[in-house]
Amino acid sequence: MYANVLVEYNVKALDKTFTYKVADKIKNTLKVGMKVKVPFGHTYVNGFVIDMSNHFQGDISKLKEVSVIEDPHLVLNQELLELGVYLKEKTLCSLIGAYQTMLPSSLKIKNQKSKYDLETSYISLNEKADVNKYINENKKSVKQIAILKRLQLESKILKKEINSSSLQTLLARNIVKEEKEKQYRININKKIIDDNPLTKEQQEVFDRVKNSLNKEETFLLHGVTGSGKTEVYIHLIKEVIKNQKRALLLVPEITLTTQLVERFYERFGNKVALFHSALSEGEKYDEYQKILNDEVDVVVGTRSAIFTPINNLGIIIIDEEQSESYKQENMPRYYTLDMALFRSHYNKIPLVLGSATPSLETMARAKKGVYTILTLSKRVNKAILPKITLVDMQQEMKKRNPIFSELLINKITKCLAQNEQVIIFLNRRGHSTIITCQNCGYTYKCPHCDISLTYHKSTNNLRCHYCGYTIFKPTKCPECHEESLNYYGLGTEKLEQELLKKIPLAKVIRMDVDTTAKKGAHEKILKEFQDGKYDILLGTQMISKGLDFANVTLVGVINADLSLNMPDYKARERTFSLLTQTAGRSGRGEKAGEVIIQSFNVDNEIFKFVQENNYNAFYNYEMLNRHKLDYPPYYYLASLKVASKDYDLASSEAQKIYKFLTDNLEKTTMVLGPTTANQFRLNGIFRFQLIIKYKKDTKLDACLKQLDNIYIMNKKVNLEIDTSPLSI
Ligand code: ADP
Ligand code: ZN
């Protein structure tokens, strides 16, 4: 028997398997997908068994032997093995890199898994011992007797509660015994509540998907905010479980998982595993074990959960499918939807994409008939969509209200008077976002990244939001030495202060990257807001999606133009989606909701579509723009970034690549650039960008692979290839 083993060196040149003879002692236990230790050169390394066979063509005498199984579990099942190959093909990463990405750190090839196993020791009476006799004979050992009496009543006690020398004596004399139980870090003991009966509209959607549970079919569930999409997911998952299968639900952000996971615990009890990047390594390890051991029916998680080894998968659901968090921005740069389509195909099961604002690509595919469109047009429980008012901030500026309009302040005050809650959204953190000298015009920028530094008042420093470069708050301009520094631009930190100036008695809680750095901070903020400890939740993008608070009747959006002014073809789509989602947080309960959007460009069409809640009008309008400029969904994109510390080198290599691509790709394909990348200087490295636009190009894959192979060996120039860029 021979095994082909993929070893752990994550070097392109080594990205191939090596054949080993399988030692007799593990012949019957070794399986494809297991982690093994093999001799390699002069040392030993870990690797995965990729395949096994009875034949080997070549010189058998030269083969080394595999005799050590590192992990008796099947770390990679057949589906994951194949998914890894697909991930490699799709993103041009190495195969070992693909598997390393798919596994949690604790199971990665180098790690010892046992150190993550958590056990708890319990003490109980040894049934073979005559305890009463022992008590009679040892009347003076008061402490020992106390322990025994307690054990007679409670049968089993946590060892750490009673650990003492007396206990040690009892253990040594075999009067009591110790037992270890496996323990998970996340334990769920929520009371399970009944499902809501579906509304007529929900039922129709449910029935349609139910009819395809044993098929590969992709659905786009287009439902307005609060239309009960999540409730439909829950019913579908229950149906899948009835058929002895399991479900995977992906959500965009961790903040979103908080409320949703609680909802899932209430419906599925401890049959839910949670999987996202904010879990500790130990928690991830535990949740992974629950999945591997088939102890759960549902996995809820962020994008990396797409790689969890769920056996007998019956449905995949991607909530808020348009979210850009489904794209991984570092290697391997995968797009979760691609991976989900693979698993849906592999298992012959449905994939449901849910959203109030589907991405243009998804909607275009659905309109073409590639996906099946399902619609939820109404909010449940007769709740109506909130009324949206647009405020012209140019007019407000004239009235000296640069931050909060009169209308918004009045509405907030009214809301608080009625004991209702408010969400205020500003998509920028920090205090002031631009610091300039009034005297000489000097502006503080990051020396490594060339972008403006942001002032953070709570820590009294200026910070680069890209690389973390930090300096103390200066008092004088470094150029002209005048004390004339001015702080412009608005971040959430300053917004909070300004709000308290206007409404001093308001209880405000802020949620952004700075206030949620600590583990558990998200959950705490959301819980306290839910419990009514605060009137106003103020925050960044984090609070725009998914949150479901019945008592929120007002949402205010500050500086809604921020995302609109980004230099990216997706800026309008992103803004429409963000505003619609944010507005959707209002009026979800019995009370009607309102939304105030503050903008400096009220004439922009996007606001009209948001106000009318008219996704279709937005879609038609934006498709025209995309068509005019040959952007997706009319064309596919690939992006290449050429990076180097040496400006000239980066520039000349980018030119070479341009020539190579135009010479080798098909004539219908467009190659644009090289231009300076959006973040041109990042961490002291210069980055040039090339964009490829294509409809169908049979030569593209080979060309990109060839380039990748050349630059992987180049120490001075780095080439980042992204075959599914979400922004450029
Ligand atoms: P979405 O995911 O589309 O934003 P949700 O599933 O969160 O919508 O539903 C919005 C609110 O309506 C939630 O509080 C949910 O509990 C409630 N809800 C959804 N479906 C029903 C139903 N069939 N009966 C009663 N309440 C429902
Ligand atoms: Zn920087």
62-71 per-position pLDDT tens digit: 899 999 998 7
Distance CA 107, CA 138 (A): 50
CATH architecture designation of domain 636-722? 2-Layer Sandwich (3.30)
Homologous superfamily (CATH) of 2-107 is: PriA, 3(prime) DNA-binding domain (3.40.1440.60)
pLDDT for the residue 233:
97
Expressed in angstroms and rounded, the spacing between residue 452 Cα and the centre of ligand 2 is 9
Who wins on pLDDT, 341 or 450? Answer: 341
- For residue 41, the number of C-alpha atoms closer than 13 Å in the C-beta half-sphere is 6
Whether 198 lines ligand 1, by a CB cut-off of 6 Å, is yes
pLDDT for the residue 114:
59
pLDDT for the residue 567:
73
The residues, any chain, with a CB within 8 Å of residue 529's CB and separated by 6 or more, are: 421, 509, 537, 549
Least confident among 124-128, 186-190, 249-253, 554-558 = 186-190
Output the residue whose Cα is nearest ligand 1's atom 17. 228
- What ligand 1 atom has the least distance to the C-alpha of 225? 4
Same fold for the domain at 200-382 and the one at 387-429+491-625? yes
Expressed in angstroms and rounded, the spacing between residue 608 Cα and the centre of ligand 1 is 27
Q: What is the mean pLDDT of residues 460-483?
A: 87
Domain 200-382 has CATH 3.40.50.300: yes
Mutational test site, ligand 1, from 380, 551, 590, max ligand atoms within 8 Å of CB? 380
Domain extents for the chain? 2-107, 118-183, 200-382, 387-429+491-625, 636-722
The CATH code for residues 387-429+491-625 is: 3.40.50.300
What does DSSP say about strands 17-22 and 65-66: parallel, antiparallel, or unpaired?
parallel
pLDDT for the residue 558:
94
Distance CA 308, CA 271 (A): 15
17-31 per-position pLDDT tens digit: 899 999 999 999 999
- Among the bound ligands, the one closest to the CA of 454: 2
For the ranges 268-277, 360-369, 447-456, 708-717, the one whose mean pLDDT is highest: 360-369
Rg (CA), the chain: 30
Expressed in angstroms and rounded, the spacing between residue 228 Cα and the centre of ligand 1 is 4
- Percentages helix, strand, coil for the chain, rounded to the nearest 5? 35, 25, 40
Query: Does residue 639 have a pLDDT over 60?
Result: yes
Query: Does residue 254 have a pLDDT over 90?
Result: no
- What ligand 1 atom has the least distance to the C-alpha of 224? 3
Expressed in angstroms and rounded, the spacing between residue 227 Cα and the centre of ligand 1 is 6
34-49 per-position pLDDT tens digit: 989 999 888 888 889 9
Could you tell me what percent of the chain has a pLDDT over 90?
A: 56
Distance CA 399, CA 387 (A): 25
